Structure 1
Amino acid sequence: MAGFEDFEGIEAASDFSPGAQVPLSGSGGQTAATQALASAAYRDGPVTDLVAANDVATVKPPRLSLFEPNLGEAFSRAVQVRLLGGARKALIQSFGIEPQTVVEHCLAATRIRKDRDTRLTVIMVIFGVLFLPGTLLWLLGFQLRRAIAGAQDKRMGAFGMAAMVALGGLAVLFMLKLPFDGLLALYLRGMLIVPIVGWLWAKQVCERSAKLLRGQWEQLLGGSGVGAKIPEAVPQDPGDKGAERIRLGLAKLSAEQASNLVYYAGPKGILGMGTRWGSWQLAEELVAKDPEADINPFRSWDVVRSIHDQLRRLERGPLHTGGFPTPSIRHWVVSPIGEGAKEVTRPEGQEVEGYRIKDFEIQRICNEQQFGSGNRHYLGVQFVLWDGQLVITLLITVTVLHHTLRIEVTGHALGPVHPLFTTKPKAKTKEVSKSVKFWETKEVTLPLVHAREVVRLSARAPFTWFPPVLDFLGGKLNLPEPFGLRHAWADKPWRHRFMADDALRAATPVLRVVHSAAMRVLEENGCDTEQFGNRSLVLSGLVQGAEPRKADAYDA
């Protein structure tokens, strides 16, 4: 499989799944964002579009523009190396999508291109290597054209056109006035003509491949849920190391996606969940209801557990009007990192199983680690809406310092994927004048692959078996770090009226459930709830006017 020759082996200890499996596409109904990201693997167009979608991602410039990858090639290669490489760094969870499905489509797109490149390599051997001098001259001409005009289909201008015409004229003069006769003369003439025949054959191969790639792209965004075909990921025999590496990498990716550890990066918010747009706090003194009696001892975990039980009934209501879908309610451990951190570190030890913090450690952090350095505990309520395009997360944390109980609810929102990923393929057309009624115009459909693209693909084809060499010559896409598929290309939800409304509306019911559950624990343990009740009423009034703001950007 192209792209895996330079991967380091994955240790056997990283096997998180039983036996060989056929990778299946993720489901669960939240497919729009997943399929939008997966469609990038099949796209054509310049790779700079990805940089425009996320200015943190960068493109390593090519040494020879003739070997420059397009958007789909660069995206597939970068995602495979980053998510399946044996020596890869830790990943950020992708909420609202199935990252395994995206990787599988990257593998499937690479397989389609690999089959195409195999045919192109045969053509290059027959029509290129046997007539190498002429092939090199043609490649030199196309490289000069790209150097003069730029790699992205720009016009050359008057000087560039004149230079190319002059070179063409010299080539014709060379063929007509050869100083040799016999077999050598036939070969010299053939070395300029035969590559053109190979180019015509290669054009047909590239056209078929482009139609197949665009068909997958169209089906993904059309909602058909087409699955990725990657038979090379299923081991055919016990010694099939390549397939086993892919299988282990996908299993490791799924295990890391299920981690309950997230990272808070200052103004960037919690990575993968989005920035914090709202915060509401209930903080009052713990006073015994009976002056002659003491408060029954309780811990933060008791309050959190009561809130957790109440939140499980959140989708129920007194009226049959739809309302909340069933939310995901989970206990999270939040670890602080620097705003400019380039990687995150997954913890190890007896408190960790796979990539998950064990329950007893979560309970200890909740009760004891509330002040000073270290990780913090949050109870999260997460809604995945709009087919995965909107992820609303409300985090609840409970702290007890001296006689003060503080319950804080913070809102996080991760918006839809960038519009780049939701654009469907369009036929390449051109408006021309009619032959008879020349004052009228008509639209004609152009081939999907133009001449310069055929040359680029043919030149790259023999090097696809050596991806590091291709990266060196043509450049590559550098993904932003710390990397997560979902948040790397997420847009802000506040530009979409209904998405913004959904995020704002979710805060009030959750806040009231949290306060109700906390009051119950306080009353059961003999606390005076009058002050808490008054404060709760004040917060109920404040949350009526909930509006997004930069809660993580302190104006100090």
Structure 2
Amino acid sequence: MSALDDLRNAAGIDFDFGPGAQVPLSGAGTGHSGMSQALASVAYRDDPPEAIKEPNDAASVKKGKFTLLEPNLGEAFTRAVETRMLADGRKPLVQSFGADPQTVVEHALSAKRIRKQRDRRLTLIMGIFGVLFLPGVLIWLGLFQLRRTFAGSQGRQAGFLGTLTLVAIAALIALLVIRVPLGGPIRLYVWSMLPAPIIGWYWAKQISERTAKNLRAHWADLAGGGGSGAMIPEAVPQNPNDKEAERLRVGLAKLAAEQHSNIVHYAGPQGILGMGVRWGSWQLAEELVPKDPTREIDPFRAWDVARAIHDQLRMLERGPLHTGGFPTPSIKHWIVRHVGEGAGEISRPSGDTADSYSIGNIEVQRICNEQQFDSGDRHYVGVQFVLWDGELVLSMMISVTVLHHTLRIEVTGHALGPIHGFFRQGPAGKTKEIRDPVKFWKMKKVPLPLVDAKEVVRLAARAPLTWFPAKLDAYGGTIALPEPFGLRHTWAGKPWRHRFMADDALRAATPVLRVAHAAAFKVLEENGVDISKFEGRSQALGGAVQAAEPRKADEYNM
């Protein structure tokens, strides 16, 4: 079986060729949530690219050579997501617990497809007028570039001197064109150089306005938690030689396989990337003493205790009373790797012990039994609750260590809060205030077109270069996403400002702690260990955890 087959199986995706292949829909089979849709809404936005710094100022905007070619937020975000998450040789990604990264990527590809359809038409217009009336088009582009240079790219006014300079240059050019010493058809052609591009501009404006309304409709639906799945027919290979479609399909398969990896990374005070900071920690450490002094303890391993805890945690959603309670949690054996605070990159497993993007089961058991001290990865049993439609991710991580005669069971709580409110913002209509012609003492708002004159020129200038994305990045600029990048944790806040989210985090600790202890004690008792000291310590912890308060447990007050 090839590496590609391993990825396909890990991602749960079947690859078919031919016209009958199904068009991928975002969230198909993954239970996509409103969280994923809110994140995906950025791909359809038309804000300035600097807006990406509002939810996380670690994101950066790299300016290009020409402000006339700079992207808006949706264009830049789409390009950044596609490059960062689908490109060959990309850096590893942090898992997005509580969100579906494939949904976001597919919507980015869908937004790119909508824009590409617009850009084909704009390129045709630029081809017609750029060939027939090239001097006039260049003059108009030059004037708009000068205006953006004077005013900046954020829609500010050019200022009195800037406006005066532009008017003077435009008047001088018009005078030169009118007084050109030519006659006959050539003179008519020269005279038509300046007005002819205006016809092309008007045609381009109609196309751009329709596309802007389409993109804003998707933005509004997704930011509100609704919207339909993203259709990306270009990701369906029509034949075995369709390399671009196959590249997209393989990239999506890698993304899904990486999302299901069993290795996470501890970044010091930043906590576990993707799971949040550690807000609480409870340790039980007692000596292993035989229950019968005349015989030795039956040999057992840390894995036996960890596996018993894993199995017993599956019963968390059941209780003696029909009062709701826990939803079905995700329970998994995790391998935690230390990367340090401020790390710019994470690593993925490789070698014979790796299975796709995960650590193999035999290696997981070995790490649990042998790597409990000194350098190396560590094993944890994790129980995770994704609540509030993905806005809150609670992770309780349990480790079992045996050093000399001491068995230690540590339970830690991690919490990842809701995403920034920026992602829930819907599109605002463009309006301006004018004086009411009848009730002249009042002002009223009137709607404006979504695409104004300078935006049409920007789109038309960018359109031919969209077939050369690397060049367009250099000329127009890009945005760089914060590293190590993951769609969920990058934009997350703290849950402690939300009363009910904080309550949910605190309430989950006590039952998880007690289930972990009960499962461990059962294994100890079966192997002839005196559990009286363990039970006494467990009762003390059971009382302490009831008064759990969130704290910066990873900083040790140092």
Same fold (TM over 0.5): yes
Give me the whole-angstrom Cα distance separating, in 2, the residues matched to 1:149 and 1:546. Answer: 55
Q: 1:129, 1:45 → 2: CA distance?
A: 32
1:294 aligns with 2:286: no
Q: Which residue of 2 aligns with 1:195?
A: 197
Residue 336 of structure 1 corresponds to 338
Distance in 2 (alpha carbons) for counterparts of 1:497 and 1:69: 39
Structure 1: distance between partners of 2:266 and 2:224: 36
Deviation digits for residues 282-326 of structure 1 (CA, Å, limit 9, x no counterpart): 111222223333222222112112211211010111221111000
Deviation at 1:14, TM superposition (A): 6.9
- Listed as ranges, the matches of 1:199-210 within 5 Å are 199-210=201-212
Counterpart CA distance in 2 for 1:185 and 1:545 is 88
1:19 aligns with 2:11: no
Residues 42 and 77 of structure 2 are in contact (CA less than 8 Å); yes or no, is this contact kept in structure 1?
yes
Alpha-carbon distance in structure 2 between the residues aligned to 1:325 and 1:11? 36
- SS of alignment partner, residue 194 of structure 2: helix
Structure 2: distance between partners of 1:492 and 1:390: 9
CA contact (8 A) 1:303 1:517 kept: yes
Amino acid at match of 1:331: H
Residues 376-405 of structure 1: CA deviation (Å, up to 9, x unaligned): 100000101111111111100000111111
Structure 1 stretch 264-273 or stretch 174-183: which is displaced more?
174-183
Matched residue of 1:379: which SS? strand
Listed one character per residue, the Cα deviations across residues 319-340 of structure 1 (whole Å, up to 9, x for unaligned) are 2111100000000011111323
Secondary structure, aligned partner of 1:398: strand
Amino acid at match of 1:302: D
Which residue of 1 is the match for residue 398 of structure 2? 396
Aligned match of 1:181: 183
Distance 2:263 2:56 in 1: 25
CA RMSD, Structure 1 to Structure 2 (Å): 1.8
Structure 1 residue 98 displacement after superposition: 1.3
Contact kept, 8 Å, 2:7 with 2:257, in 1: the verdict is no
Aligned pairs for 1:57-456 (under 5 A) are 57-456=59-458
CA distance in 1, matches of 2:106, 2:492: 21
The separation in 1 between residues aligned to 2:500 and 2:427, in whole angstroms, is 27
Question: C-alpha distance in 2, partners of 1:150/1:546?
Answer: 52
Conserved? CA contact 1:277–1:412, under 8 Å: yes
On the 8 A contact 1:273/1:413 being kept in 2, the answer is: yes
- Return the offset for 1:30: 4.9
Q: CA deviation at 1:32?
A: 1.1
Offset at 1:175? 4.5
What amino acid sits opposite 2:8 in the alignment?
A: F
Q: CA deviation at 1:13?
A: 7.0
- Say whether the 8 Å CA contact 1:259–1:356 is kept in structure 2: yes
- Aligned counterpart, 2:478: 476
**Which residue identity is paired with 1:266?**
G
Q: Are the structure 2 counterparts of residues 500 and 129 from structure 1 closer, same or farther at C-alpha, using a change threshold of 3 Å?
A: farther
- Is 1:536 aligned to residue 528 of structure 2? no
Which amino acid letter does the alignment assign opposite residue 98 of structure 1?
Answer: D
Counterpart residue identity of residue 53, structure 1: P
The 3 A distance-change label for structure 1 pair 148 and 118 is same
Letter in 1 for 2:238: Q
Residue of structure 2 equivalent to 1:4: none
Alignment check: 8 A CA contact 1:266 1:338 kept: yes
| CA distance, structure 1, for counterparts of residue 390 and residue 552 of structure 2 | 23
Residue 406 of structure 1, CA deviation: 0.8
Segments ≥4 residues shifted beyond 6 Å: none
1:371 aligned counterpart, secondary structure: coil
- Map Cα deviations across residues 24-68 of structure 1 (whole Å, 9 max, x no partner): 322554511110111111111011111232122211112111111
Task: Indicate conservation of the 8 Å contact 2:35/2:225, yes or no.
Answer: no
Q: Deviations over 1:227-273 (max 9, x none)?
A: 11111111112211111111111111111111111111212211111
> How far has the Cα of 1:521 moved from its partner?
2.0
Kindly provide the amino acid, as one letter, of the partner of residue 25 in structure 2: L
Give distance in 1, aligned partners of 2:438 and 2:226: 43
Given the superposition, is the C-alpha separation of residues 88 and 462 from structure 1 closer, same or farther in structure 2, using an over 3 Å criterion?
A: same
Q: Which SS does the other structure have where 1:407 is aligned?
A: strand
Query: Is the contact between residue 216 and residue 427 of structure 2 (CA under 8 Å) also seen in structure 1?
Result: yes
After TM superposition, give the deviation of residue 486 of structure 1 in Å: 1.3
Q: Distance in 2 between matches of 1:533 and 1:11?
A: 48
Which SS does the other structure have where 1:97 is aligned? Answer: coil
Do the aligned partners of 2:335 and 2:377 also contact (CA within 8 Å) in 1?
yes
Alpha-carbon distance in 2 for matches of 1:530, 1:155: 78
The share of aligned pairs that are identical, in percent, is 63
Worse-superposed segment, 62-71 or 416-425 = 416-425
Q: 1:47 to 1:339 in 2, by over 3 A?
A: same
What is the distance in 2 between the residues matched to 1:13 and 1:526?
Answer: 47
Mapped to 1, the partners of 2:274 and 2:213 lie a distance apart of 35
Whether contact under 8 Å (2:400, 2:407) holds in the other structure is yes
Checking the alignment, whether the CA contact within 8 Å between 1:30 and 1:388 is kept in structure 2 is no
Residue 15 of structure 1, CA deviation = 4.9
Partner of 1:3: none
Per-residue deviation, residues 508-530 of structure 1 (Å, max 9, x unmatched): 11111112222222222222222
CA distance in 1, matches of 2:475, 2:432: 33
SS of the residue corresponding to residue 214 of structure 1 reads: helix
C-alpha displacement of 1:177: 3.6
Aligned partner of 2:507 in structure 1 is 505
Match of 1:52 among 46, 51, 54: 54
Q: Is the CA contact (8 Å cut-off) linking 1:330 and 1:381 kept in structure 2?
A: yes
Cα distance in structure 1, aligned partners of 2:231 and 2:290: 65
Please give the alpha-carbon distance, in whole angstroms, between the structure 1 residues aligned to 2:335 and 2:15: 31
The answer for unaligned runs of 5 or more in structure 1 is 1-9
User: CA offsets per residue over residues 327-372 of structure 1, 9 Å max, x none?
Assistant: 0000001111132322222222222111121111111111111001
Moved more, 397-406 or 348-357: 348-357
Deviations 1:190-223 (A, max 9, x none): 1111111111111100000001111111222344
CA contact (8 A) 2:26 2:106 kept: yes
Distance 2:470 2:387 in 1: 40
SS at match of 1:396: strand
Paired with 2:60 and 2:534, the residues of 1 have a C-alpha distance of 51
Structure 1 residues 378-387 or 82-91, which shifts more? 82-91
Please tell me whether the aligned partners of residues 399 and 407 of structure 1 are also in contact (alpha carbons under 8 angstroms): yes
